[in-house]
Structure 1
Amino acid sequence: MRWQVARWARRVGTAFVLLLLGYGAAGLAGGAIPRNAGWRPMEAGSPGSVTIWVESNGIHTGFILPKVAAGAGWRIDWRDLARPGDLADPRYARFDHIAIGWGEKAFFLDTPDWAHVSPRVLLAAAIGSDATLLHVEHIPAPTRASDDERRIVLRPEEYRRLAAFIRASARPGGRPYRGYDRDDAFYDAQGHYSAANTCNAWTGDALAAAGVRVGWWTPFPITVTRWFQARP
């Protein structure tokens, strides 16, 4: 009996490892196939251009956006979402940019970095959840592109489409939650999180909705950031 249990356990373990390897290979392959293949960024400083950033902490990706951007006949203002009163220290709201990303509630709250990743949280997120959040941090504009912050220069219509996608992820009337530090907060969001629809897949889908060239499926941070130069 013990021998049979041990053999069954080995088979389950082998199947799990193969599943993980298959998921990783599929994610890398999907992230290498472009959507909006003909897209090219605007030149920095071009009239009407909007500079945004894709950021990554090695687990989660998201966007760095100007709090207010406007042009002829349009204006995108995030201050109604990024409210000073939701911060542990409202003075951070003086910064002119926000970092914003989407993800599963427990995964977001319990995994600020790799040191906090656990099999329990990974399994719960992979199974799927309708409990999702937007993470909003008040920050100054990045000064230069880096491995963790990739600059993208958008046309006004591209930025408006990106903003519309992000807005659609916010839950109307959702409550705020305290963030990791004094300059950030979480907000109730919409959307179903799963192994197929991760926070990084959300970032890729938002870029694709804007018309930006990005992978077909972007479940991992690298499958998002690889499309954009680390440094000019």
Structure 2
Amino acid sequence: MADRSRRARRIAGGITALLFALPVLFFLSAWIGSSIPRNPDWTEPDEGVEILIGTNGVHTEIIMPIANDIIDWRGHFPLGDIATPDRDYTHVSVSWGEKTFFLETPTWGDVRVTTVLDAMTGGEGVLHVAWYVRPAPADDFRPLTVTREQYRLLAGQIASQLAPEDTRRTYPGYSVHDIFYDARGTYHLGNTCNQWSSDRLAEAGIKTGWWTPMTGGVMKWVPPIGPD
């Protein structure tokens, strides 16, 4: 009986240690993986197209001019899809994430453990598209200049993430200037919203980290706003 009790305590202790170790291993591997650069020789050009990389501390977005001679985003994301299409928008932001989590958690107070667990184990992707009027650069809204060719590649990568038009649905956003679209891809712990952002940048030839499940892994490669 005593041996059985000691064995049970050892098993319980092992499970407890594992539960503590897994998050530590995850954060450590995320830090290491995000510190290894893709496109390590890339440098920011003096001229090109200015985009912005935004973050709310958990989630990243890629912000681009609405239209130039490379792409007019209104052809992919019609302004008529949002509630306030008549404002003088200058930029559009695009990010990707798990459908249920995005649609059911408009605020952090709406987050449920079951929603998070479902997203981590696999869920359908959606694009979150928001429209801005002259977004001001800030530490959480960092400008980044890319070459015209890199922007062309980036725009093509992002446009290709939309689900096919004949099956695509839209969903109301959190406000009057944003919306969700069905997207390609499956969300899971190895393919998060922040990994999506860095993958799009990397595939356009822009320097970023290899594995970036957390927002810091993306933002560490985007120079912060310097002092005036």
Do they superpose with TM above 0.5?
yes
SS at match of 1:191: strand
What's 1:136 paired with? 129
SS at match of 2:32: helix
Quote how far apart the aligned CAs of 1:126 are. Answer: 1.1
Letter matched to residue 181 of structure 1? S
TM alignment of 1:31-180, pairs within 5 A: 31-43=34-46, 46=47, 49-70=48-69, 75-92=70-87, 94-129=88-123, 131-144=124-137, 146-173=138-165, 174-180=168-174
Q: 1:114 to 1:147 in 2, by over 3 A?
A: farther
What's 2:216 paired with? 222
Task: Please list the CA deviations of residues 24-68 of structure 1 after superposition, one character each: whole Å capped at 9, or x if unmatched.
Answer: 11111100111111101112xx3xx10000111112111111111
TM alignment of 1:23-38, pairs within 5 A: 23-38=26-41
Q: 1:117 to 1:58 in 2, by over 3 A?
A: farther
Extract unaligned runs of 5+ from structure 1. none
Quote how far apart the aligned CAs of 1:7 are. Answer: 6.9
Q: Which moved more, 1:111-120 or 1:217-226?
A: 111-120
- Mapped to 2, the partners of 1:148 and 1:111 lie a distance apart of 21
What's 1:15 paired with? 18
% identity of equivalent residues:
38
SS at match of 1:58: coil
SS at match of 1:69: coil
Letter matched to residue 139 of structure 1? Y
Alignment check: 8 A CA contact 2:76 2:159 kept: no
Quote how far apart the aligned CAs of 1:114 are. Answer: 3.9
Task: Please list the CA deviations of residues 119-164 of structure 1 after superposition, one character each: whole Å capped at 9, or x if unmatched.
Answer: 22221111112x11000011123232x2211111010110011111
Task: Please list the CA deviations of residues 158-205 of structure 1 after superposition, one character each: whole Å capped at 9, or x if unmatched.
Answer: 001111111121101111111001100000000111101000000000
- Mapped to 2, the partners of 1:33 and 1:140 lie a distance apart of 35
Alpha-carbon RMSD: 2.1
Extract unaligned runs of 5+ from structure 2. none
Letter matched to residue 125 of structure 2? T
Q: 1:8 to 1:90 in 2, by over 3 A?
A: farther
**Count of residue pairs brought into register by the alignment:** 221
Alignment check: 8 A CA contact 1:98 1:138 kept: yes
Q: 1:42 to 1:77 in 2, by over 3 A?
A: same
What's 1:190 paired with? 184
SS at match of 2:181: strand
Computing the radius of gyration over CA atoms, which structure comes out larger, 1 or 2? 2
Q: 1:5 to 1:147 in 2, by over 3 A?
A: farther
Letter matched to residue 135 of structure 1? H
Stretches (4+) displaced over 6 A:
3-7
